[in-house]
Structures are given as structure tokens and as C-alpha cells.
């Protein structure tokens, strides 16, 4: 399974001017870094509310650009019924964020219909 939904991300890449898509990508990258740090800080502090808020924000940001695996991990983290280990999920968030950014960067470098 790809880290990003090719329909959502591809649509963004093909519908927007390249510079706008790259700007969205950079904003997403900044947001991911900030939100991942918030999630990790909440885990370290034992702050369940902060952890869920950061996970909720991550899920929304990921959904907006089609980062579906990251969105799924974040949704598990924000679910108060989940028994998943917050530390393990924070590591998984970092991993999925990196995978999504790599695929989005490749899409920005070679958008659909650019050939």
C-alpha cells in the first residue's frame, strides 16, 4: 500500500500550479514536524489529552493531502478506546510521515500529466 492516496494527491498535483502544490507540500511538512513533536512531547509527559489533540490534528492534515497510512495511524492514536502503545504509535507516526513526504515530494517533482 502506498503511503499516499494517488487519487487525492494526484488530483492536487494535477489541478494546482506546481508552485502552489510545492507550497502545500512545504506547509504539510512543517505541520507534520510540529504535530509529531507535540505528539511525542505529550507521550513523554503522559498527557493523554494533548496526545489525542495532536493525533487529531495529524489525522486532519494527513487526510487533506491523501497521506492515508499516516491518517490511519493518527486515527488509532486519537481513539480513546485504543489499547495501542502511545510510544509505538509516535514512532509509527514519524515513519509514516517520512514515507508520505517522500512520495509527495516525488509527485511534486514529476506531477501527473507533466510528460
Between 111 and 49, where is the model more confident?
Answer: 49
Q: What is the pLDDT of residue 115?
A: 46
Please check whether residue 76 lies inside any domain of the structure: yes
What SS3 state is found at 23?
A: helix
Domain range spanning residue 19? 6-108
- Name the residue among 24, 44, 43 with its Cα closest to residue 32: 24
Residue 34: pLDDT band with limits 50, 70, 90: very high
Q: Provide the pLDDT for residue 109.
A: 80
Q: Is residue 58 part of a domain?
A: yes
What's the CATH code of the domain at 82?
A: 1.20.120.160
The band of 113, judged by pLDDT with boundaries at 50, 70 and 90, is low
Residue 1 included in any domain: no
Alpha-carbon distance 5 to 3, whole Å? 7
DSSP 4: S
Over residues 68-102, the pLDDT tens digits come to 999 999 999 999 899 999 999 999 999 999 999 89
The mean pLDDT value for 29-50 works out to 93
> Is 115 a member of any domain?
no
pLDDT of 1 higher than 80: no
> Mean pLDDT, the chain, as a whole number?
89
Number of domains in the chain: 1
> Using alpha carbons only, how large is the chain's radius of gyration in Å?
15
The answer as to whether 114 is a domain residue is no
Amino acid at each position: 500500500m502506498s503511503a499516499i492516496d494517488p487519487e487525492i494527491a494526484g488530483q492536487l498535483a494535477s489541478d494546482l500550479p506546481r508552485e502552489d502544490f510545492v507550497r502545500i507540500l512545504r506547509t504539510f511538512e512543517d505541520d507534520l514536524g510540529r504535530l509529531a513533536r507535540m505528539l511525542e512531547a505529550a507521550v513523554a509527559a503522559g498527557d493523554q489529552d494533548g496526545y489525542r489533540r495532536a493525533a487529531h490534528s495529524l489525522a486532519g492534515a494527513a487526510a487533506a493531502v491523501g497521506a492515508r497510512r499516516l491518517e490511519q495511524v493518527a486515527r488509532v492514536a486519537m481513539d480513546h478506546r485504543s489499547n495501542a502503545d502511545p510510544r509505538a504509535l509516535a514512532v509509527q507516526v514519524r515513519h509514516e510521515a517520512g514515507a508520505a513526504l517522500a512520495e509527495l515530494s516525488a509527485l511534486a517533482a514529476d506531477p501527473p500529466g507533466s510528460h
